[in-house]
């Protein structure tokens, strides 16, 4: 019996991990020759450091993180060697604020929690403020880490606002916090999450990466079947220890064509262009590269061709 190739995945906590969880639960990664383990990161910096050290092979991350580190605008001395191998989510980012905050203008002078100041979704928040007539420089931004830590920092009153994804948006709403704005209101398309590999892993272990892609696509296809809605809800509760009352809004978001998982894990060229435009507007040096500079979709394209009855 051929030994399974091991792949170590590092991801942000959140409902977008459901296809990976589904593939693990149902044995679809193993069917494609890989043994997948997953760990959840506390921040984009911690994720990049783990990948750069060779301790993780694949990162489920924000497209902007790939752009930042590939353009030398990430944390100094950290080079995870990211390359996007397929899409993941359009991803709706919600601006969760303390109940005492009524408008964007109320955030001037307030402390706002971010994952990091120059990567991830920081520029989405800057754009939200600027479009509402608030100079983002008037706010005090603090790097706190991934969504669970940021949400807890707002819940505890340490910070006045942050950006969240599901299930944390629904948890915040259920706790009486206001959703002041969303990225889907600002942008017709926004490439939130992607799946990236270390270039060295992609070059040296293409068979294992292809196995991961095939297993992920199996998990995604299963999730998107209407008949599997109850089973997906059960998986969400089991894997994320989610209160059953929050399951329905989380599923509505993660399965939505406007805010959730992308069928066939396709990338969104317009959404990627939005990310690049925001980095050019707010980033330390912007980027003149096109989206093709950050992607290598050869294995994903082969997997999709195979699923559609090609090779």
120: left (phi over 0), alpha (psi -120 to 50) or beta: left
Greatest extent of the chain over all pairs of C-alpha atoms, in Å = 63
The tens-digit pLDDT sequence of the chain (311 residues) is: 578 999 999 999 988 899 999 999 999 999 999 999 999 999 999 999 999 999 999 999 999 999 999 988 888 999 999 999 999 998 889 999 999 999 999 999 999 999 988 876 899 999 999 999 999 999 999 999 999 999 999 999 999 999 998 889 999 999 999 999 999 999 989 998 999 999 999 999 999 999 999 999 999 999 999 999 999 999 988 888 887 878 888 898 888 877 889 999 999 999 999 999 999 999 876 666 788 999 999 999 999 999 988 54
pLDDT of the residue at 311: 47
User: What are the structural domain ranges in the chain?
Assistant: 5-90+190-307, 94-186
Structural domain 5-90+190-307, CATH architecture: 3-Layer(aba) Sandwich (3.40)
Partners of 89 in beta bridges: 193, 261
Count CB-CB contacts under 10 A for residue 128: 23
Short-list 260, 89, 261, 98, CA closest to 179: 98
pLDDT of the residue at 118: 82
3-class SS string, 204-219: HCHHHHHHHHHHHHHH
| Tokens, residue 297 | 């979709």
Q: What pairing do the DSSP bridges indicate for beta strands 161-164 and 34-40?
A: unpaired
pLDDT of the residue at 82: 96
pLDDT of the residue at 2: 74
| Tokens, residue 239 | 């894997």
CATH of 94-186, one of 3.40.190.10, 1.20.120.1200, 3.40.1410.10, 1.10.10.10: 3.40.190.10
């Amino acid at each position: 019996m051929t030994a399974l190739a091991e792949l170590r995945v590092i991801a942000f906590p959140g409902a977008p991990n459901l296809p990976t969880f589904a593939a693990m639960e149902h044995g679809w990664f193993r069917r494609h020759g890989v043994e997948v383990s997953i760990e959840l990161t506390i921040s984009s910096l911690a994720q990049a450091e783990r990948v750069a050290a060779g301790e993780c092979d694949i990162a489920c991350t924000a497209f902007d993180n790939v752009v930042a580190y590939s353009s030398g605008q990430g944390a100094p001395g950290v080079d995870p060697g990211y390359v996007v191998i397929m899409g993941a989510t359009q991803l709706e980012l919600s601006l969760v604020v303390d109940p005492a905050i009524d408008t964007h203008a109320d955030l001037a002078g307030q402390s706002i929690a971010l994952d990091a100041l120059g990567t991830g979704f920081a520029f989405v928040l800057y754009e939200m403020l600027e479009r509402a007539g608030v100079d983002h420089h008037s706010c005090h931004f603090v790097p706190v880490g991934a969504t669970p830590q940021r949400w807890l920092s707002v819940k505890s009153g340490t910070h006045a606002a942050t950006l969240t994804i599901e299930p944390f948006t629904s948890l915040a709403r259920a706790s009486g916090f206001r959703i002041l704005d969303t990225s889907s209101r600002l942008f017709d398309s926004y490439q939130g999450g992607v799946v990236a590999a270390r270039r060295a892993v992609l070059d040296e272990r293409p068979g294992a990466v292809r196995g991961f892609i095939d297993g992920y696509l199996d998990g995604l296809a299963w999730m998107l079947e209407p008949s599997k809605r109850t089973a997906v809800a059960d998986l969400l509760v089991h894997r994320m220890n989610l209160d059953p009352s929050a399951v329905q809004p989380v599923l509505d978001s993660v399965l939505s064509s406007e805010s959730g998982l992308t069928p066939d894990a396709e990338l969104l060229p317009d959404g990627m262009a939005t990310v690049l435009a925001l980095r050019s507007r707010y980033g330390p040096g912007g980027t003149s590269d096109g989206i093709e500079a950050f992607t290598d979709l050869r294995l994903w394209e082969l997997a999709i061709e195979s699923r559609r009855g090609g090779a």
